[in-house]
Structure 1
Amino acid sequence: MAIEPFLRTRPQQGFLGTSIIQGIVVLTLVAIVFGKVQAVVPTSQGTYKTLPCYFALFALAEIFSVVISIDALKLRNIIQMLGIIGFQGAMIVFSALQVRQTRIALVRTPDQPGCFTTCAGPGSLWETVKPLLIAVPCVLGASWVTLIYWTRALYFEFGWAVFHAVGANPVMKKMYQYYQVMICLLKFDFFAFVGLTMQLLILVINPATPEFGLTIAAVPVVLILLFGCGVAVKREIKWMMTLSLVLMAASLSYFIFKFVRYYSPSTREQYESTRNTLTVFTVVAFLLVFSSFAVGLRCFSDFDKGLRNSKATEAIAPKRTKYGSPSGTPGMSDRQSSYLGGAGLAPRMSIE
């Protein structure tokens, strides 16, 4: 049984289809909420800025989710798919927090008859958008369960891709898995940093302050860092990997600094309507970068041990023979044996 072409199997189609349908439904719900609020309150002012940021962040998240799903399927990277499931779980938490954050932004006066905009009573703006906000984590939860189902099927389907890349050598398989984890972490680092920066620039930081300019200037620097780290770990460029790891370690202090500002008595008031979501994003970003640093050290220790060529050809599938199997490869039973931890394969493939 050969490696199946991109999007030619039911699990692949189901995984990507779930991501696309989820994105359409969630963006529709969030857009309706934004439209209803935009029609009656100035969303560019004060605590109301939570809503356009909420919409922009979910738009970024859903586009990112679809793009990274396509990428994972093309690379046959099951570790990245597990990362997508974790990402979905984080978005469920974020969307649930946004229900409370939106209430804080909209409800600012005691309930009274005829109060539509700033109250929480029946017929108010809050009661109008509340069901739509609650529906978002429900949709994400249903999609999350469905993605777990498809990922399980893809785990068995893509098992052969790992064997094709690195052969049956368990040491090489372990090194290759750490490499895949590193590449996956760098992609999620990108979203976490951009998402956090977007919230800070839209909701909190005053454009007239030096912090605003520094935050904007940090965006291209971090993007170059992430891209450079990806190139370094794939091509095993030691000096570039060393620089990336040093900058990664230094960036952890930034997340600690921001976290302290959220709760410091002198600055906590400016984060009142966004503290919960910013805290979640900052903690997740810190953990992702820290994990990237730790896994990066492990990948660096694996340089010059024979894995470089396998990294360069990881997405290239072997040619089919007239019998339907890749040329020069064993059958399905041997393939499952190698990937799922069974007996050794014969003959073994070398790392080309």
Structure 2
Amino acid sequence: MDYQHAHSHTPASYDGHYHQEQEIYLPPQSAYMSRSTSLQSGSSMLKAPGLASDESLPKQLPLKATRVQEKPLETKQERNWLTRLFPKSWPIRLFLLTVFIETVVDLAIQGDIYARISSISSNDNNEAKTIRKMTVYLGLFAFAHVFQLAIAIEAVWQKNTLQFLFLTLFNFLFFVYSLIESAEVRGLQSYLQPGITNISVGTLTIISNVVLALSEIAFIAIGWQIWKEFGWKVYKFLGADRQIKRIFAHYQIYLSLLRFDMFFCIGFSAQLIAFLLTNTQDAEYYLTIAALPLGVILLIGGHFAARYENKWLMFSFMLGCICATVYFAYKLFRIYEGKDGEYFDFFKSMTTFAALSLFFLIVTFVWGCIVMHNFGRGLKEQMAKKLSGHRRRGTSTTLDKHFPMTSNPNRMSIE
């Protein structure tokens, strides 16, 4: 018996033709699937006489296969970068905002005072020395603010709790330095003319000191919250291994010491060039200028030596630290020896910077030995693994040119 005859259930009113109002519904076909191929399965039934052909079926609009849209990778990377730099945590945002406001306000005040001091013209040799000294102090003050802002941003970026503590101490020393500078600036008040603003120099210095004091109070107030925030981030980054966390703490202290080495070395060299090495024919003038960028390169090399656990680079850095320590010890002796002579006007400031530079170099050398002793204990691999994991989560793989957002090349999304 014929298949169509045995399985057909033709209505009684069948007159040999299907009327137009009768419709045959088939499962919807995708635009990516061939209609002819799908209809050929079970061809013995579909090709039987009396059944509707493919051409007589109601025409259906082709269904579109759309790709799942995703935001561009650059947008994700930009969002991750901004989230890491400006996280949603209110203590960290308050910390960055405080440092930023402090920097802007104090730089504006120092700029106004500098403009007033620069306009003084004096034939008196002592007054000329005082004016030059104050301009250098104002320059160091401005450099310290920019340095503090950069270190604060880096501390947030690296989640370095110890660097935040160093910054709190640095801001306190900054406040003490501001009090000393304010007293010396007010000593020149009778020579100063109105500057960018008509506010008196005494009032400007008071405002600067108040801003520094309020910033220090804010750092102390939010310190515990930032400590917990950074501690949790480090825990998620490194895990619960106490040995790795201890080694990482040594590494963070070492990085913080490098930053402050750079600040005090640059500050001392700037004062030495501005105050004493005015003779361009002197060989020490050019040696000091050449030593400044070399010192910065040395400190950068120390950073990379610890990050990638390169022993030869670390040995070179430590040798440079020994040479720098000898140099600053010699300069400190020269300053003390000439405190009643050529160093008389700059004795306090240069002694402070030379002593602090010497102290930080010695501590950095000792801590560098500790960091080098920790080489090969797993910190480098742990940090590399975590960083590569973050990069993988931010990437997108295209496995098929038609369906780039899926790992299955045969998967599609139909709307």
Query: TM-score, with normalisation over the residues of structure 2?
Result: 0.66
1:78 matched residue in structure 2: 161
Change (3 A) 1:257 1:240: same
Output the amino acid matched with 1:36.
R
Number of aligned positions between the proteins = 299
Q: Secondary structure at the match of 2:376?
A: coil
Deviation at 1:273, TM superposition (A): 2.7
> C-alpha deviations, 1:239-269, integer Å up to 9, x for none?
110111121122112222222222214x643
> Superposition pairs for residues 1-352 of structure 1, below 5 Å?
5-7=84-86, 8-41=88-121, 45-102=128-185, 106=188, 116-117=190-191, 129-208=201-280, 209-265=282-338, 268-312=340-384
Q: Distance in 1 between the 2:180 and 2:100 partners?
A: 23
1:262·1:268 contact (CA, 8 Å) conserved in 2?
no
Change (3 A) 1:193 1:275: same
Deviates more, 1:62-71 or 1:95-104: 95-104
Output the amino acid matched with 2:276.
V
Output the amino acid matched with 2:167.
I
Deviation at 1:5, TM superposition (A): 4.5
* C-alpha RMSD of matched pairs (Å): 2.7
Q: Distance in 1 between the 2:211 and 2:278 partners?
A: 35
Q: Secondary structure at the match of 2:342?
A: helix
Q: Distance in 2 between the 1:254 and 1:234 partners?
A: 27
Q: Secondary structure at the match of 1:162?
A: helix
Deviation at 1:270, TM superposition (A): 2.4
Q: Secondary structure at the match of 2:191?
A: coil
Q: Secondary structure at the match of 1:274?
A: helix
Deviation at 1:173, TM superposition (A): 1.1
Identity of aligned residues (%): 27
Deviation at 1:151, TM superposition (A): 2.6
Q: Distance in 1 between the 2:376 and 2:272 partners?
A: 41
Q: Distance in 1 between the 2:208 and 2:386 partners?
A: 36
Q: Secondary structure at the match of 1:41?
A: coil
Output the amino acid matched with 1:61.
A
Change (3 A) 1:128 1:308: same
Change (3 A) 1:313 1:12: farther
**Which of the pair has more CA radius of gyration?**
2
2:318·2:365 contact (CA, 8 Å) conserved in 1?
yes
> C-alpha deviations, 1:8-45, integer Å up to 9, x for none?
22111101100010011111222222222223335994
Deviation at 1:186, TM superposition (A): 0.8
Change (3 A) 1:315 1:33: farther
Instruction: Give ranges in structure 1 of 5+ residues lacking alignment.
Output: 108-115, 119-126, 322-352
Q: Distance in 2 between the 1:145 and 1:314 partners?
A: 35
2:186·2:201 contact (CA, 8 Å) conserved in 1?
no
> C-alpha deviations, 1:282-310, integer Å up to 9, x for none?
22211211111111110010001111123
Change (3 A) 1:207 1:135: farther
> C-alpha deviations, 1:171-194, integer Å up to 9, x for none?
221111000111111111111111
Change (3 A) 1:317 1:289: farther
Q: Distance in 2 between the 1:135 and 1:11 partners?
A: 25
Change (3 A) 1:5 1:264: closer
Query: TM-score, with normalisation over the residues of structure 1?
Result: 0.77
Change (3 A) 1:64 1:316: farther
Deviation at 1:131, TM superposition (A): 4.0
Change (3 A) 1:230 1:158: same
Output the amino acid matched with 1:214.
L
2:99·2:149 contact (CA, 8 Å) conserved in 1?
yes
Deviation at 1:316, TM superposition (A): 7.8
Change (3 A) 1:313 1:213: farther
